[in-house]
Amino acid sequence: NEKKEKSKPLINKEFAAARTILDEMELHEDSWPFLLPVDTKQFPTYKKVIKKPMDLSTIRSKLEGGSYKTKDDFSVDVRLIFDNCETFNEDESPVGRAGHNMRAYFDSQWADLNSS
Ligand SMILES: Cn1cc(C(=O)NCCCNC(=O)c2ccc(F)cc2)ccc1=O
């Protein structure tokens, strides 16, 4: 039986497309809450409330490290960032608003990639 591979990288074109979207998201002015893992010393309840933390630097490491088998696996982690953000933050807060803006930005980039 086939050995379960820990990570199998995306095929080149998919990898390049995901990397470009990640580059653009990191440069977005509203990316600041998502660039690094949430500091659980600054927000002690975070680990209790959010079962699967995710951030753009972790996605970057996973992408470059070949952890994503398909571009859709990559999108699942991106969406996890924004779902976590909605769970932990009021919509009308700086971080909450940034999350909604970044999700809309990602969704439009993702749609373009999947329509091309
Ligand atoms: C996703 N999320 C983030 C926060 C949050 O407050 N996060 C960072 C604030 C301070 N960090 C920065 O301002 C910063 C970080 C990196 C950088 F390159 C530039 C600026 C709180 C709740 C939550 O759910």
Q: Residue 38's pLDDT is what? A: 98
Q: Residue 66's pLDDT is what? A: 95
- Identify the residue whose C-alpha is closest to ligand 1 atom 4: 33
Q: Give ipTM to 2 decimals.
A: 0.89
DSSP 8-state secondary structure symbol assigned to residue 45? T
Q: Residue 7's pLDDT is what? A: 72
Å from CA of 13 to ligand 1 middle? 31
- Identify the residue whose C-alpha is closest to ligand 1 atom 8: 33
Q: Residue 2's pLDDT is what? A: 61
Q: Is the CB of 82 under 6 A from ligand 1?
A: no
Å from CA of 32 to ligand 1 middle? 5
Nearest C-alpha neighbor of 29 from the set 97, 116, 112? 97
- Please report the DSSP string for 8-21 in residue order: -PPPHHHHHHHHHH
Residues of the chain with pLDDT under 70: 1-6
Using a cut of 0.90, tell me whether the model's pTM lies above it: yes
Cα(4)–Cα(93) distance, rounded to whole angstroms?
43
Q: Is the CB of 33 under 6 A from ligand 1?
A: yes
Q: Residue 8's pLDDT is what? A: 74
